[in-house]
Amino acid sequence: MKKKKRVNRKIRIIISIAVIIVLIILGYLYLKPSKPKKIQNAAKIEEKIESHGYELAENETDYYKELFKNLKIVLNEESLNEEKYASLVSQLFLADFFNLDNKISKNDVGGLQFVYSDFREDVEKYAKEGIYHYVESNLYSDRKQKLPIVTEVTVLNVEQMEIVYLDTSDKNGYRVDLKIAYKEDMGYQNSATLYLVHHEDKLEIVKMSK
């Protein structure tokens, strides 16, 4: 009988020790500080066109990077082809503005460097209240939301003409008609007409219409 009691006591001790070990492990796991999530910082600048101040961010699409490369070539030519310049600025703007997939949040509005400097704040506000309004934050690279990816912007027509918009006017401005293609049709704008004027040494966008 005593032997049986000793055996039962040993079993209880073993069970108690096991319970204590389990509680210690659970307590450690509960109190262990969680690994901080990696925060996405603003994309690094991969390349610049120093003469005009244009910048290429590393998170842009391959298509956008190809357009930027072509812009650099056009701007480095001895004789500037303004029609090509106007076309590429228009393509780059739309390729960045409507490509929401690579944006960190609704505040990360694309294409602003190609907008007339005095109107950039207005365009940014318009974007945040419009198509950027529903862009979920991807600060921790955990966004599940499906967003548009621009695959091509085609120039349909380029016309030099007088452009008058608010207090800005240019007798030798440009109107550019374009078509936008996406990786997947999600109902976003697929065409646009842009109006550009000369400002200092650049061609900048002053207006966009469908």
In a domain, 34, yes or no: no
Question: Is residue 93 over pLDDT 70?
Answer: yes
| 157, part of any domain | yes
* Residue 110 DSSP symbol: S
Tell me the residue range of the domain where 170 lies: 45-209
Pairing of strands 150-165, 168-182: antiparallel
CB 68 within 8 A of CB 54: yes
Domain count, the chain: 1
CA distance 191 to 206: 17
The CA angle 204-115-117, to the nearest 5 degrees, is: 90
139 within a domain of the structure (yes/no): yes
d(CA 14, CA 22): 12
Each residue of 161-179: pLDDT tens digit?
999 999 899 999 999 999 9
Which amino acid is present at 153? V
pLDDT in tens, 120-139: 999 999 999 999 999 999 99
pTM (predicted TM-score): 0.81
Residue 41 confidence (pLDDT): 60
18 belongs to a structural domain: no
Query: 155: exposed, middle or buried (C-beta count within 10 Å: 0-12, 13-18, 19+)?
Result: middle
